[in-house]
Amino acid sequence: MSVPKQVDVLVIGAGPTGLGAAKRLNQLNSASWALIDSADEAGGLASTDVTPEGFLFDVGGHVIFSHYKYFDDTIEEALPRVSHPLPILPPGYSLFVLPL
């Protein structure tokens, strides 16, 4: 995808803040804008690295809390709450207290 040569607003970085700014600019529909990032995927430091063996490592998770309704509504839209509890251990696994 190519970036226009001229925009009213240039959002640099596709982390949570940049994505939030882009969402708001899109809602306002009053200025031309573009979002750029050095990475191939959005998320910024809130991402997951995958090793060649397939292991997943979460990198730089963000703590999300607010008392601002617009922010809370945006997060709820992007990351809906899980409506059922998730098991701590997958089926078939056992919990062992160490040392044995």
pLDDT tens series, the chain, 100 aa: 677 789 999 999 998 889 999 999 999 999 999 999 998 888 888 888 889 999 988 887 666 778 888 888 888 888 777 666 666 777 777 766 666 5
Asked if residue 97 is part of any domain, the answer here is: no
Residue 35 lies in a domain: yes
Q: How far apart are CA 48 and CA 19, in angstroms?
A: 17
Question: What pLDDT does 4 receive?
Answer: 79
As for how many domains the chain has, the answer is 1
Q: Write out the residue range of the structural domain in which residue 58 sits.
A: 9-78
Residue 11: other Cβ atoms inside 10 A: 19
Quick one: pLDDT at residue 46? 80
pTM of the model: 0.65
Residue 62 lies in a domain: yes
